[in-house]
């Protein structure tokens, strides 16, 4: 049963508008200390929702706006091949010149990117108000340390654009808090001395690190910028891991890195790899289904020494199984993290077809990315002028921190630090909710 929300301090929410997923927190009723928060159910059974909007191209022309789907429904429509336009990673366009540009969404319609952001925030606000049972006019929004690296003007422009979108959907008071501070707020509420905390936020698209100062003397302060001592990150994370796992464990069964039949006077060469890289890259999968691409690959049957490889590739294309294979790779990554190995059933591709993925194989496939992520953690602390031994806590959040090898490698660089795990998917939203109670409660 959904808990009843606080009535003595109504009208405010906290929103983690994430690059990959979003979440919303509201104050919770029954907390005598006035500090508890509740995450909003944004989709049945889920308190996080993919930051995704799908515009249907088949919307009747007599309707003023294209029909929109949000979150998992948006992603499902795209995967199913419904005619339309999927928008993801909207946060990345804040502060860019794209914001006021229009883009075609099919059916003779266009939409401005700014309106995509506004529409998604309106959806979050509507869901939050439905759960709160009252209007919400005040909000704390999370923001990265830098929307735009090394460009203060564009960084300020990005925050202003997000604030304008929030006001447009009906929030009259808008406050911001830094995401790494938000992630550390729950930990801060339980400590009795000042600590240096390295927040490791490993999500779907980026791995971000922030060295922050927390402690009882700082608890309750609204302005925390000075508590961020260092920040660094790399554009490597969960989707890159899934891609490497798929290339290592599944796509060889479709001919990836297979050799062509030998020709007189030359050594056998690999079959072309472009289609496999596209199949392993989520936003490019649908491009391999075009009739011209399918016809080209069908004509290459003689290039494959093993006819099973080509047959499986063509089944993948004609049955549109690319996203199913990507999902299987993601699940295998999770299973290996939990159990040390995974069985990948591929009956949809060929009856009885399956493969195994072991922890050592996964580690080898991800080694390069993991090494770069670990280097980013070390660089964050180094740039702040702090010795690794002086880090008190490494705080892990983000969906990809389920990979134990990655967590162990990062933590191993800070031998004196305590490991603390936040909610992998919602610690930022929870922290923003705690901050909202400070500034509005």
For residues 145 and 428, the answer to whether their CB atoms sit within 8 Å is: no
- Amino acid 197: pLDDT: 97
The percentage of the chain sitting over the pLDDT mark of 70, rounded to a whole number, equals 96
- pLDDT at position 268 is 82
Please check whether residue 269 lies inside any domain of the structure.
yes
Task: Indicate if the pLDDT at residue 3 is higher than 70.
Answer: no
Q: What tens digit of pLDDT does each residue of 95-112 get? A: 888 888 888 888 889 999
Where is pLDDT greater, at 6 or 92?
92
Residue 83: pLDDT over 70 = yes
Residue 87 has pLDDT above 80, yes or no: yes
Confidence of residue 33 (pLDDT cuts 50, 70, 90): low
**Mean pLDDT for all residues in the chain:** 91
Assigned domain for 278 exists = yes
**What pLDDT, in 10s, does the model give residues 294-349?**
999 999 999 999 999 999 999 999 999 999 999 999 999 989 988 889 999 999 99
CA pair distance 346, 305, nearest whole angstrom: 21
Question: Does residue 159 form part of some domain?
Answer: no
Residue 324 domain-assigned? yes
Is the pLDDT at 441 greater than 80? The verdict is no
Residue 6: pLDDT band by 50, 70, 90 thresholds?
very low
How far apart, in whole angstroms, are the C-alpha atoms of residue 128 and residue 14?
10
Residue 233 located in a structural domain:
no
Q: Containing domain of residue 342, as a range? A: 239-363
Burial of 401 (0-12, 13-18, 19+ CB in 10 A): buried
The Cβ of residue 85 has, within 10 Å, a number of other Cβ atoms equal to: 20
Structurally, the chain folds into a number of domains equal to 1
Whole-angstrom distance, CA of residue 18 vs CA of residue 89: 8
**Is 328 a domain residue?**
yes
Q: Is residue 119 part of a domain?
A: no
Provide the pLDDT for residue 34. Answer: 56
Supply the pLDDT for residue 29: 65
> Would you say residue 262 lies in a domain?
yes
Q: What count of other Cβ atoms lies within 10 Å of the Cβ of residue 167?
A: 14
Can you give the pTM of this predicted structure? 0.86
Q: What is the pLDDT of residues 225-257, one digit of tens each?
A: 899 999 999 988 899 999 999 999 999 999 999
């Amino acid at each position: 049963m959904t808990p009843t929300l606080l009535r003595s301090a109504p009208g405010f929410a906290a929103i983690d508008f994430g690059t990959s997923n979003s979440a919303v927190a509201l104050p919770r009723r029954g907390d005598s200390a006035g500090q508890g928060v509740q995450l909003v159910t944004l989709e049945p059974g889920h308190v996080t929702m993919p930051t995704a909007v799908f515009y249907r191209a088949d919307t009747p022309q007599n309707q003023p706006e294209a029909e929109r789907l949000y979150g998992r429904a948006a992603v499902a429509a795209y995967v199913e091949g419904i005619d339309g336009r999927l928008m993801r990673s909207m946060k990345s366009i804040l502060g860019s010149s794209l914001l006021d540009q229009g883009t075609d969404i099919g059916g003779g319609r266009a939409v401005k990117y700014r309106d995509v952001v506004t529409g998604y925030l309106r959806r979050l606000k509507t869901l939050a108000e439905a759960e709160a049972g009252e209007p919400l006019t005040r909000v704390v929004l999370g923001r990265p340390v830098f929307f735009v690296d090394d460009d203060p003007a564009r960084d300020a422009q990005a925050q202003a654009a997000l604030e304008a979108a929030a006001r447009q959907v009906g929030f009259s008071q808008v406050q911001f808090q830094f995401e790494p501070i938000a992630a550390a707020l729950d930990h801060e509420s339980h400590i009795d001395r000042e600590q240096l905390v390295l927040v490791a936020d490993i999500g779907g698209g980026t791995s971000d690190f922030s060295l922050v100062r927390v402690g009882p003397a700082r608890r309750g302060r609204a302005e925390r910028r000075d508590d961020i001592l260092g920040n660094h990150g790399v554009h490597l994370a969960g989707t890159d891991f899934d891609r490497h796992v798929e290339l290592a464990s599944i796509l060889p069964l479709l001919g990836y890195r297979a050799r062509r039949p030998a020709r007189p006077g030359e050594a056998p060469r690999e079959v072309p790899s472009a289609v496999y890289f596209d199949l392993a890259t989520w936003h490019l999968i649908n491009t391999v289904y075009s009739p011209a691409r399918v016809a080209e690959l069908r004509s290459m049957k003689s290039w494959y020494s093993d006819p099973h490889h080509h047959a499986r590739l063509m089944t993948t294309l004609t049955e549109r199984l690319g996203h199913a294979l990507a999902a299987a790779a993601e699940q295998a990554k999770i299973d290996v993290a939990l159990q040390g190995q995974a069985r990948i059933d591929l009956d949809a591709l060929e009856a009885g077809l399956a493969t195994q993925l072991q922890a050592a194989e996964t580690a080898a496939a991800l080694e390069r990315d993991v090494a770069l992520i670990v280097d980013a953690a070390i660089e964050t602390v180094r740039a702040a002028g702090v010795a690794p031994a002086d880090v008190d806590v490494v705080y892990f959040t983000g969906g990809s921190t389920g990979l134990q090898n990655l967590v162990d490698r990062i933590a191993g660089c800070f031998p004196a630090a305590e490991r603390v795990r936040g909610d992998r998917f919602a610690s930022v939203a929870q922290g923003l909710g705690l901050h909202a109670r400070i500034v509005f409660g």
